[in-house]
Amino acid sequence: MNLVELTETIVKSLVLDEDSVMVKEFPSDDEKTIVIQVLVSESDLGRVIGKNGVTANSIRTLVQASSSLKENKHVKIEIDKF
């Protein structure tokens, strides 16, 4: 499972409207960095970010750990709403 699929699986397990989740990978200026953008509906944004950003940080930690095992690249995850 690549990092985008992993991120999408984690986020879809948290939201109520799974069909509105979009996860895309974007190129970065640094080849050692991966940028992943997560878009969710406005009503699910709080679920994905969590109180004080705890859930979002947990997602970042899991995806970064997976990257360390396979690609050894820094992962930057941006979470936003439609």
Which residue type, as a one-letter code, is found at position 23? V
22 forms beta bridges with 39
Average pLDDT over residues 55-75: 94
Enumerate the domain spans of the chain: 3-81
DSSP 75: E
pTM (two decimals): 0.93
> If you classify domain 3-81 with CATH, what class do you get?
alpha beta
Mean pLDDT of 9-15: 98
Mean confidence (pLDDT) of the chain: 95
User: What pLDDT does 27 receive?
Assistant: 85
Rounded to a whole number of angstroms, the distance between the first and last alpha carbons of the chain is: 26
Quick one: how far is CA 1 from the chain centroid? 14
pLDDT at 1 over 80: no
> What are the angstrom distances between the C-alpha of 80 and each of 16, 32, 33, 66, 70?
16, 23, 19, 22, 26
